Amino acid sequence: MKTLVGCATDTAEMMIEAIVNVGILGCGAMGRELALAADSDRIPNARVVALFDIDEKAVAGLSADLSNPPTGYSDIDAFVAHPGLGLVVECASQAAARAHAAKILRTGAALILMSSGALTDPDVYEEMSDAARSSGGKVIVPSGAIGGIDAIRAVKHLLETVTLTTTKPPLALSGAPGFAEWEDREITEATVIFDGPASEAVRLFPANVNVGATLSLAGIGPTQTMVTVIADPDAPGNVHQIEASGSFGKFKFEFINEPHPANPKTSYLAPLAAIEALRTYCDTGPRIGS
């Protein structure tokens, strides 16, 4: 017999596995990768049924590239009310996450949140947690452009220091409020642009250091996790170095990520991590790693 998640109808009658009806909030670089993965057999138990973006062309363009065209929405309330929506992947912006996450969760749908910086605001964290608690919805924050989050979570209560050093080519930092005074200056060598707590880094580099938010939320929190942002014209990619220490020992992780071809601010690993999070949510087999 089938198990229905998110009320898939018609053809699901004959299916044994659950089908999760997925909505994509944000049809940019990451939303596109995710939707294409769910549209293919990479995530067999997911079906993209709804798209939303403030850019209607992004919705139409992505919809046209999917073999099972979903419903495109330009109104968030209509998107959230899509019949049988089981899970929404937010891959838009911190502002979108702040504005819409609780509303989505109140419907009982699960939420995969990529703009994790939004959760470093205690009010937003509380609002999302309350909404999820009241409806049974779940918030999932994928590890995104880094790894090691499972280990950080496991030693959370023993952590003493956690640092993140993010090095990107200047182009990848362009547009960030924290980069404003550097926009018209030539950067010819590795230059420290920011050094401070993750809570501040997330505000100044909203599209660049979601990894700092994710790392801090998994560990000792946004005010104690220290972030350094470096602009380096010779950076081999979007590089994230993490060091953590405590009575458990020491961790060092380094990620040298290729930028996503459609958005140099986003590392290619980030959509891959989102796809894996969605696949895991939809899969009924053993889950490897915490």
Contact positions toward ligand NAD, by CB under 6 A?
A: 26-31, 53-55, 58, 91-96, 114-116, 144-145, 207, 210-211, 214, 263, 266, 270
Beta carbon nearer to ligand NAD, 8 or 229? 229
**Which residue out of 82, 100, 157, 240 is catalytically annotated?**
240
Q: How far is the CB of 45 from ligand NAD (least distance, A)?
A: 23
- Classify residue 36 by burial, with Cβ atoms within 10 Å: 0-12, 13-18, 19+: middle
User: Coil, helix or strand for 191?
Assistant: strand
User: Coil, helix or strand for 166?
Assistant: strand
Q: How far is the CB of 191 from ligand NAD (least distance, A)?
A: 22
Q: How far is CA 256 from the centre of its chain?
A: 18
Q: How far is the CB of 238 from ligand NAD (least distance, A)?
A: 9
Beta carbon nearer to ligand NAD, 8 or 82? 82
Q: How far is the CB of 202 from ligand NAD (least distance, A)?
A: 10
Are 18 and 4 in contact by the 8 Å Cβ rule? The answer is yes
Are 224 and 164 in contact by the 8 Å Cβ rule? The answer is no
Are 18 and 2 in contact by the 8 Å Cβ rule? The answer is yes
Beta carbon nearer to ligand NAD, 95 or 180? 95
Beta bridge partners of 23: 50, 88
Is-catalytic flag, 240? yes
Q: How far is the CB of 262 from ligand NAD (least distance, A)?
A: 6
d(CA 259, CA 261): 6
| Alpha helix stretches (DSSP H) within the chain | 29-39, 56-64, 76-80, 94-106, 122-135, 149-154, 170-173, 198-204, 210-218, 269-282
In degrees and rounded to multiples of 5, residue 250 shows phi and psi of -135, 140
d(CA 145, CA 48): 23
Beta carbon nearer to ligand NAD, 249 or 261? 261
Q: Annotated catalytic sites, by residue?
A: 240
